Structure 1
Amino acid sequence: MDNQASGHYRFSDDHPFHPVRLALTENLLRESDALDQRQALPPLSLQEAEKMVRSIHRNDYIENVQALSVANPDRNTISQADRYGLEEDGDTPYFPDMHQAAIELAAGSMAAADAVMSGKATRALHLAGGLHHAFPDRASGFCIYNDAAAAIAHVRENYSARVLYIDTDVHHGDGVQWFFYTDPDVFTLSIHETGKFLFPGSGFPHERGDSSGYGSCLNIAMEPYTEDDSWLECFGRAIESAARVFRPDLIVSQHGCDAHAFDPLAHIHCSMRVYREMPKMIRDLAERYTDGKWVALGGGGYDHWRVVPRAWSLLWLEMNDHPLLASIDAQADGGPLPKGWPGVPVIRKPDYPLPSTWLDDAERWEPMPRRLEITEKNKKNLEIALQHIG
C-alpha cells in the first residue's frame, strides 16, 4: 500500500476529488490496528513513471499539462487549456505542480503492479490511483494522467502478462477501455450506472472492443436506483464469465466507491455491503485464475466521511486477511467503528451524523420504487452484454 503522493494531487478545498478521503481512510485503518508501515511499497522511480506516461499520452497534451503546472501560466497556455480538458472552471481544472503530482500517482500504481508481477507481493493496493477517465490526448473527470493504463502497459511491456481490468466505479471506466480497445491481451470490464443518465455517457453493451481486441471489453450498465442484490448478481456473473473466457495472468481492479446511496454524484442505491462483497469476489477470482495476483487501485467516491473510508478500509482488510473481518461478517451492521475515528484535523466537518458501524443498516432504508422492474432491466442488459462472451 502506497499513498504518499496523494496530498499533492489536489484541485482545491471545494473540489469533490479531495485527498481528505485518503487521510480519513488511513486514520480509520490505523485506529483499527490494521495498518503497518512495513507494508508500504516504495514507488517506482519518477523517471520510469514519466517515461511510461509519455509512451501512452500524446506529447502536445503533456506539454500543455507541464505549461499549466507553473504558478502563473501565461495567457497563451491558458487559452489552450480547454482544448485539453483542463479549463479553469471545469471538472478537471489545472493547478500548480499537477504534472509532478500526476506522475507520482502513476509511479505508485506502477510500483504496485511491479511488486505483484515480480513476486515481491501477491496483492498490492494503491488507493491514490485509479484515475480511469484520462485519455491519451486530454484530461477528463478529475483525471489528468491515466495511472491504471500506465500500470497495465508496464505489466504488458515487462512481463507480457494478460491483464483483466475490473472497474467498479459508478462512472464508466472509459479512459482505460479506450487505451486498450484493440488489445486482445487486456480485457476491460466495467460495471457502472448507465451512460444514458450519468457521466461520461458511455459504457454500453455494444462497446465490445475492436479489431483484434473485439470481445475483450465488457460493459455492465446498471439502471439508476439499483440496489445491492441486483448489483452483486450482475457483477458476479460478469467477472466469472470474463475470467473463464480470458484466463488472465493478473487482475487489476479499480475501486471507486460512488455507487453508494449516499454519494452525491450518481443515482445508484447500494449500501456498504457491496464494498464488503466485491473485494471478496475479486480475491476469490484471483485465487482461482491468477495464482492470487491482484493489484487494486482507488478511484471515485464523493461522500468523503460516511462512505469512502469504510469502503476502502474493507478493501484493505480483505487484501490482508485481517482478523477483524470475522467480526465484521458475524454482525449484521459489521460491528462498531473504532472510537478514535475520525482523528483527522480538517477545516470543515460535515453537519450530518457520521457512521458508527462498518456496514449500513440498509433494512431501515426506504425501499426503492420499481425495485423489481429495475432488477429485470439489469438482467436483460447483462444478457445483452454477455452475448459475445463464449
Structure 2
Amino acid sequence: MPYDAVFVHHPDSARYQFAVHHPFDPLRLTLSQDLLSKTGALPAQLMMQPSACSDEETERLLRLVHRDDYIGIVRQLSSKAPPQNVIAQAEQYGLGTEDTPYFEGMHDAAAAIVAGSTAAADAVMKGHAAHAYHMGGGLHHGFPHKAAGFCVYNDTAITIKHLQARYGARVLYIDTDVHHGDGVQWAFYDDPDICTYSIHETGKYLFPGTGFVYEKGSDRGFGATFNIPLEPYTEDDSWIESFQSTIGKVAKAFKPDIIVSQHGCDAHAFDPLSHMYCSTRIYYTIPKLIHELAHQYAGGRWVALGGGGYDIWRVVPRAWALVWLAMTDHPLIAEIGADESSRRGGAVPTVRLPSSWTEAWAAQSPVPLPLYWMDDLSEVPPIPRRAEIERKNRDICQIAVQDL
C-alpha cells in the first residue's frame, strides 16, 4: 500500500562540502533530519535510500542538462591531486572560485544529490507515494557548461528533464529560495510544457542578478516563466501576500501533472546572504499552500527539494522540518497553525521544539538555539519603509500575472 509521502536521503550527499568555513554546510541536513527524528515525525517506513546508479545511468541523467566537457572537468577536478592543465581550466567552468571551489570527491557527492532528487521523482510518478521530499536537493544555479552559486550539478533541472523525458510530465516548478532560480529557468525558457515560477529578492541587489518580472520565456515557451522579484527588507505579510496572490493563478492556468518545489530558506531575517526580513511564518505558509495546490491541480503529485539557507542553527532545521510536517499532515503542523492564528498581536509562540534536540546541539551551536517552532516576532524590529515596500511588491505581482 503506498504511503502519502516518502523522505529520500542519500548518505553520500553529506560529502558535498566545499571547505570548512564555506557557508554551504551539509551539517544543516543532519540538524534538520535529527529535528524531525526527535519530533517523532520521521518513522523508518517513510524513509527511502536511493538505489545505487550505474555509471551509465549517472551519465544519462547528467547529460539531460550538462555538457560532456563540463562533466569531464568535474570528474577530473574531483581527484585528490588534479592535473595542472585541468586546474588551469577550472574557472572557465565556474569552479575554483570563491563561491564554488572544487574539492576531492566532488563528482560523486554532486551525483548523489542528483540520484536522490530523481529517485524522489520516480517514487511519485510510479505511485509509491503521492509526495516525496529530498532535503539534500535543490541546487538550482548550475548551467550546462558551468557551476555557479554553490551548485556543481543542477539536480533540480535534471529532475524536471527526467520527469519530462521518462513520463511525459508537464511540470510546475516553484522556487522560493531568496536567490532567483536562474539555472532552472534558462534550462526551460523556450519550453511550453515546463512552467517555472520563482519568488526571490530582486536581482537589482542580489546574486545572480536575474529574475526580473519581464523574463517571461521565449519562442513557444513565452508565458511559461514567472518571476516575482521582491524588494529588499520585505517582511512576512508582504512576502506571503505576494506568494498567495500569484502562485494559485499560475497553477490554475498551467494545469501541471506534477509540482516540483525548491525550499531554500534564506529569505529569513537571520540569513547572512540576503537582505530580506522574513521569519519562520513564511516557511510555515509555503509548504501548506503548495500541498493544497498539488492536490487541487496535480493529482497530489509533489516533489519537494531543499536549497539555500545559511543560518544553519536557528533557521534551516525548523524551516526544512516544516516542509515535511506539512507534506505529511502531521498533527504538529495544525498545532503550530493554531498557535500562529492566536498570536497575531505579537505574543510569544507556545509550541516548543523537542528539548532533546536543543540539548543535543546547544554545545556546538555558536548562537543560542531557538526553543520554539516559530519565531518570537518581537525580536525582529519592523522596517521603517514597510508601506513603500509593500506597495512596490503589489505592483510587481500585478505585472507578473496580468496575462492570466
In the superposition, the TM-score normalised over structure 2's length comes to 0.93
Match of residue 341 from structure 1: 357
Q: How far does the alpha carbon of each residue in 1:297-345 deviate from its partner, in whole angstroms, 9 at most, with x for none?
A: 0000000000000000111111111112222222242511111114667
2:21 aligns to what? 14
SS in 1 for 2:196: strand
SS across alignment from 1:56: coil
- Residues 84-131 of structure 1, C-alpha deviations (whole Å, 9 max, x = no match): 0101x4200000111111111001000001110111110000010000
2:362, 2:338 → 1: CA distance?
33
Q: Is the 8 A contact 1:86 1:94 kept in 2?
A: yes
Aligned equivalent of 1:46: 53
Q: Give 1:363 shift.
A: 3.9
**How far apart, CA to CA, are the structure 1 residues paired with 2:360 and 2:82?**
33
Amino acid at match of 1:121: A
SS in 1 for 2:355: coil
Q: Does the alignment pair 1:291 with 2:306? A: no
Does residue 355 (structure 1) correspond to residue 370 (structure 2)? The answer is yes
Partners of 1:260 and 1:307 within 8 A in 2: yes
CA distance in 1, matches of 2:180, 2:234: 15
* Alignment deviations for residues 322-374 of structure 1 (CA, whole Å, 9 cap, x no partner): 11222222224251111111466799521x22110000111442110110000
Tell me the residue number matched to 2:252: 244
> Which residue of structure 1 lines up, in the alignment, with residue 8 of structure 2?
2
- Equivalent pair of 1:327/1:334 in contact (CA under 8 Å): no
Residue matched to 1:189: 197
Equivalence for 1:35: 42
Contact 2:362 2:368 (C-alpha < 8 Å) held by counterparts: no
C-alpha spacing 1:128/1:383, structure 2 compared with 1 (3 Å):
same
Gap runs ≥5 in structure 2 = 1-6, 341-348
Contact 2:362 2:369 in 1 (8 A): no
Q: Which runs of 5+ in 1 are unaligned?
A: none
Q: What code does the residue aligned with 1:337 have?
A: L
Q: Distance in 1 between matches of 2:141 and 2:246?
A: 21
| Letter of the structure 1 residue corresponding to residue 194 of structure 2 | V
1:86 equivalent in alignment to 2:95: yes
Alpha-carbon distance between aligned partners in 1 of 2:51 and 2:320, rounded to the nearest angstrom:
23
1:160 match: 168
Counterpart residue identity of residue 376, structure 1: R
Size of the aligned set, in residue pairs, is: 387
Look up the SS of the partner of 1:330 in the other structure. helix
Separation (CA, whole Å) in 2 of partners of 1:193 and 1:345:
31
User: Residue 380 in 1 paired to residue 395 in 2?
Assistant: yes
Q: Secondary structure at the match of 1:251?
A: strand
**What is the match of residue 70 of structure 2?**
61
User: Offset of 1:12 from its aligned partner?
Assistant: 1.4
Letter in 2 for 1:349: S
**Residue-by-residue CA offset, 1:199-238 (whole Å, 9 max, x unaligned):** 0000001110111111000000000000011101111122
Q: CA RMSD in A?
A: 1.4
Contact 2:263/2:306 (<8 A) preserved:
yes
Q: Given residue 352 of structure 2, which amino acid in structure 1 is its aligned partner?
A: P
Q: Alignment partner of 1:379: what SS?
A: helix
How far residue 45 of structure 1 moved from its aligned partner, in angstroms, is 4.1
Hey, what's the Cα distance between the residues in 1 that align with 2:26 and 2:350? 26
Partner of 1:207: 215
Q: Give the partner amino acid of 1:238.
A: T
Moved more, 295-304 or 353-362: 353-362
Measure the CA separation in 1 of the matches of 2:361 and 2:370.
18
**Match of 1:64, as an amino acid?**
I
Cα contact 1:31–1:338 (8 A) shared by 2: yes
Indicate the SS of the match to 2:226: strand
